[in-house]
Chains A and B, each alone.
Chain A
Amino acid sequence: MEAWFALLVGIFFTVAVYLMLSKFIIRVLLGVAVLGNAVNLLIFTGGRLTRDVPPVIAGGAGALDGPAANALPQALILTAIVISFSFFAFLLVLAWRAYADLSTDNTDEMRVAEPVKEPMPPLGY
């Protein structure tokens, strides 16, 4: 089970890296979204996959008997999902605003902060 998930995570990472190497912001953004999901699946797989019972302690017992699903990776993923979703939302708005203000979503043409043809620094008094 873990091996299949590892393969799936690998595919997700490949897709994400491919998309993020693009020079168009919108594709980079999609890459970021895929990357977040790849990492979430990775954490999930890192917590070991089982088809066993949920980690609920029966009434009267003091501890779990037998193997159960690991709840901690799910808590970690929940946190990571919330964070990556909020970041995705911010970057989406930022990309839209960049497109509206700079009228391009090509990062090669977005050279406002670092102009292409800059004059030489002063070489003497």
Chain B
Amino acid sequence: MAVPTSSSVDLSAALVLGPTTVADWLVILPVAWCFAIGALLVMLRRAIGLQPIIAVAGLAGLVLIDALLLGHVAAKGPVTMVMGRWLPPFGIAFTVDLTGALFALVAAIVALAGGIFSLADINDSGRRYGFYPFLMLLMAGVSGAFLTGDVFNLYVWFEVLLISSFGLLVLGSEPEQIDGTVKYGFLNLVATTLFLVATGYLYAVFGTLNMADIARKAEGLRASAPLMTLTALYVLAFGMKAAAFPVNFWLPASYHTPRVVVSALFAGLLTKVGIYALIRVMVMLFPVEREELSFVMALAGALTMIIGVLGALAQTDFRRILGYLVVSGIGSMLAGIAVGGPGGIGGAIFYALHSMLVMTGLYFAAGIAARLGGDSSIATVSGLYRKNVGFAALTLMLCFAVSGLPPFSGFWPKVMLVKAALDIGAWWLAAVLLLAGFCTVIATGRLFLLAYWRDDADVAVETVRLPSAVLAPLAALSFLTLGIGLYPEPLLATIQSAAAGLAEPSAYLNSVFPAGGLR
């Protein structure tokens, strides 16, 4: 910055002087909206009859806002809003590109489904202890993580969602919940601290924390700065968040302990925030380092997939099977990041979005199965098919989707990933992807066979009607995956331009530094 000679400083170099338009506000609105509704719910914490109404309405509003934001970004390209009008790299920027907007929209849909499901799952004591405020603040953290354009800010949003997730996880105070929360809490705190360590080094190397600024400075610093160390630290920190092998064991230890709707939301949202951050850092900020680390990433991805499906095959509890399936899905996304290119990155994004919808739906199914069967162990639960045929059909759809069978949403990302792996000659990775899919079919097939088809011969099974508050979100998610599977073209086109925007972030940079920037 030029040193001014007099006291009159040229403010246009550091501040946005024009008025803030309505479209600018849309960038920050998902986070501000969640905080506002969350604060309102905290104030009304005694009105437990009112809480679910406000929360579900708030989440529906969030879906609407995120849909508008995605439309805006798809039409105009990446958009940036800076806090307090300070231009980057001084001010904190919220920058939304297609990837962030897509993730935010799917997260909002998942949260809305969870909000509706919670009407029948969260009892009065859960409401009194603040399920709904925690849910809104969790969504504030998740949306913030998807939309921010600043690395330290990303750390802060991780912490916001982490502290809300602690609150949700321990809600109910059963002994196994406390045990699960101890493991989840300490290990996730270590992961976020590692993230903070990496961010400290990042600041020491670059002197800036704005993602766009880092992306354009990385090329010049590659010869002198330890960027590989930085990238490896980020891989470890985000890998731990996403539950990648060998740092995945906190997930199956804790995800089956809380209320069903909490497990469902965690499976849909939290690990995918880690994957999103990994994609953002590896693909946009440090593409050369991603190339060099690709074999290690591919190996970690392959092992994550294998460990995940083997764990799922070895479990008896419905929800613990699902916990391992979440881990196995993370392996596929890591494989996509390792392979790179439009097919790999696009496949990873597609798989993440599909997994958000499907895993949430499957946890809902686990909750309903436990409600119908009286237990969550597939060794004792039986005859669910005859108790409620519609529910069994919806579960079967989700089982097909998670296994990657057509015509459901899991099929297309799997095809993209296998093709991308074969294109770069990584036939073993393609083989592992297919093998993991095959083992997932066995795991979900075993689940369906034992819990749904097996009948106790001497017990008369009656059909049970389910409340629509639990069936409607399950049906919505199942039909959404069917819709994506049957007509993937619009989503696929959006994902491909999102992946292209990550690989070639000039539009992202232009949105943060419209006039080429200061330096």
Contacts and interface: CB of A to CB of B under 8 A. Distances in A.
Asked if chains A and B come from one complex, the reply is: yes
Nearest to A80: B196
A121 B314 contact: yes
By DSSP majority rule, is chain B's interface helix, strand, loop, or mixed? helix
Given A28-B186, A91-B189, A113 B315 contact: no
Nearest to B256: A113
A112 B175 contact: yes
Interface in B231-278: 252-254, 256-257
A98 to B, nearest CB: 5
B35 interface: no
Contact of A97 (B156, B162, B173, B180): B173
Nearest to A86: B163
Interface in B125-159: 152, 156, 159
Contact of A87 (B4, B189, B253): B189
Contact of A25 (B8, B163, B170, B182): B182
Contacts of B173: 97, 101
Interface of A is mostly: helix
Contacts of B203: 43, 46-47, 72-73, 76
Nearest to B320: A114
Interface string A41-59: 0110111000000000000
Contact of A94 (B7, B162, B170, B199): B170
A38 B9 CA distance: 39
A102 B181 CA distance: 13
Nearest to B454: A125
A6 to B, nearest CB: 11
A72 B315 CA distance: 49
A123 to B, nearest CB: 10
Interface in B176-207: 176-183, 185-186, 189-190, 193, 196-197, 199-201, 203-204
A77 B162 CA distance: 19
Interface size class of A (residues with CB under 8 A): 35 or more
A118 B178 CA distance: 20
Nearest to B314: A121
B169 to A, nearest CB: 10
B163 A61 contact: no
B1 interface: yes
B6 interface: yes
A91 B200 contact: no
Contacts of B159: 83, 87
29 contacts: A20-B190, A32-B189, A32-B190, A35-B190, A42-B201, A43-B199, A43-B200, A46-B201, A46-B204, A62-B7, A63-B4, A86-B163, A91-B185, A91-B186, A94-B166, A94-B178, A94-B182, A98-B178, A102-B175, A112-B175, A112-B176, A113-B177, A113-B180, A113-B254, A113-B256, A119-B379, A121-B313, A121-B316, A125-B454
Interface of A: 20, 25, 28, 32, 35-36, 39, 42-43, 45-47, 60-63, 72-73, 76, 79-80, 83-84, 86-87, 90-91, 94-95, 97-98, 101-102, 107, 110-114, 118-122, 125
Which 9 pairs of residues, A with B, have the shortest CB-CB distance?
A46-B204, A62-B4, A43-B200, A112-B179, A121-B316, A112-B176, A113-B179, A113-B176, A113-B180
Interface of B: 1, 3-9, 152, 156, 159, 162-163, 166, 170, 173, 175-183, 185-186, 189-190, 193, 196-197, 199-201, 203-204, 252-254, 256-257, 313-316, 378-379, 449-450, 454
